[in-house]
Amino acid sequence: METALPPGPRGPAAYHTIRFMLRPREFLDDMRRFGDVFRVRALSLTGVGVMSAELAKELFAKDPDKAYDVFAGPLRHVFGPRSLFTNGGTTHRRQRKLLNPRFHGERMRAFAQTMQDVARAQFAKLRPGDRVRMSDVGQAISLDVILETVFGSGGVDRAHARELLASLLDGFSPLVVFSERLQTRFFPPWRRYLERRAAFDAFVRDTVAARRKGELGEDILGLLLAARYEDGSPLDDDEIRDHLFALLVAGHETTAIAIAWGTYFLLHERAAREKLVAELDAVGTSVEALAKARYLGAFCDETLRIRPIVLDVVRPVATAMQVGPYVVPKGEAIVIFLAAILSDPKTFPEPDVFRPERFLEKSVPASAFLPFGGGHRRCLGAAFAEQEMRIVLGTLARELDLELESAEPEHAVRRNVTMGPSRGVPVVVRGRLASRPG
């Protein structure tokens, strides 16, 4: 197969890496001049970028064992060698087959009331006149949801666990995520990360040991301890540790940001808020009602579309691969730019306009709505995150009276591997609203 590479921007790889890190939307808008496929040269990889839903669908559908290697690289040292993030092939399939049922269906719906209880407990702390950042409120909610759903069966010091997890997340720097060269004890951010990760590992090890001696419990930790592979073997302690760490980082950060962005659009888009509140006035705010509320679902989808939290996914090719009219050589990577697909005007007219109705007026192709990625490595916790976002925003919209502290718009800025609101969505608490329970 003859290699034919697409055109792309000129200049040093470091320049394009920094540009994408700091101004990703501007970078991707500029790359549209090259078409749906363009040449990518970054510090951590070389390959092609894809900005087409049709091409992304083809690429996600390929046999992962034959088409792709795992983009572990620096992630292996961050997430651990037993993590779903850093494994591929037979190991990844085996892990995913075991874990997937435990993060979907009735097991996840069983956590819905816990999510609402946690949200209401955080809202109850707010008083009229308080000024808070919704990114902080979202982080408090998502952290407590994780504590309740992962360790809720008891036996842990919640205050200690909350402090430990918050400290670990604060030390999660993008510098140590994206560069193996900086993963050395001589680099202070990496040294701090290792110290905090060691404390987390010790906490999980002690918690697992105590749980194995008693009742396993019905929380996520209990589900992992009870899980068995097809050959009857259980997950060992290291694998449980790495899965819990991935859940903490991926689930906490992304959901907290989604809650903050959702609150911003709830308060910024008056027409959308009025439609949402009217729907909730009619159906109530029980978790069952929120699960079925159509406009609420569209509102959450539009939030994730217009402000995607993860911008791209990387797939290193295991063998030369055709991508449109081009061929990507073995050893290079395909970068599927989710943010570009979610803002493609061909699929989403007026992509910069917040309009939840677009998800109700016609069926948006699954290949074009990719906030959680796609294919065999689609985010395992997507259903969990979507459910939590619905419940928290639906409860907030009908039970808490807030206003934006400033008319200044929020812009998306990079946090770690995610994109969050530049100012954290500062709001003023005006009071509480009377809500219908059912």
**What predicted TM-score, i.e. pTM, was given to this entire model?**
0.90
The reply to whether 4 falls in a domain is: no
Confidence (pLDDT) at 434: 65
The answer as to whether 238 is a domain residue is yes
pLDDT at 431: 92
8 part of a folded domain: no
Can you give the pLDDT at residue 74?
66
pLDDT in the model for residue 378: 86
Residue 337 belongs to some domain of the structure: yes
Residue range of the domain that includes 57: 13-432
The answer as to whether 301 is a domain residue is yes
**CATH number, domain with residue 367:** 1.10.630.10
Residues of the chain with confidence (pLDDT) below 70:
1-3, 71-74, 153, 172-179, 416, 434-438
Let me know if residue 437 belongs to a domain. no
Q: How many domains does one find in the chain?
A: 1
Confirm whether 1 is domain-assigned. Answer: no
In a domain, 438, yes or no: no
What is the C-alpha separation between 145 and 118, in angstroms, rounded? 6
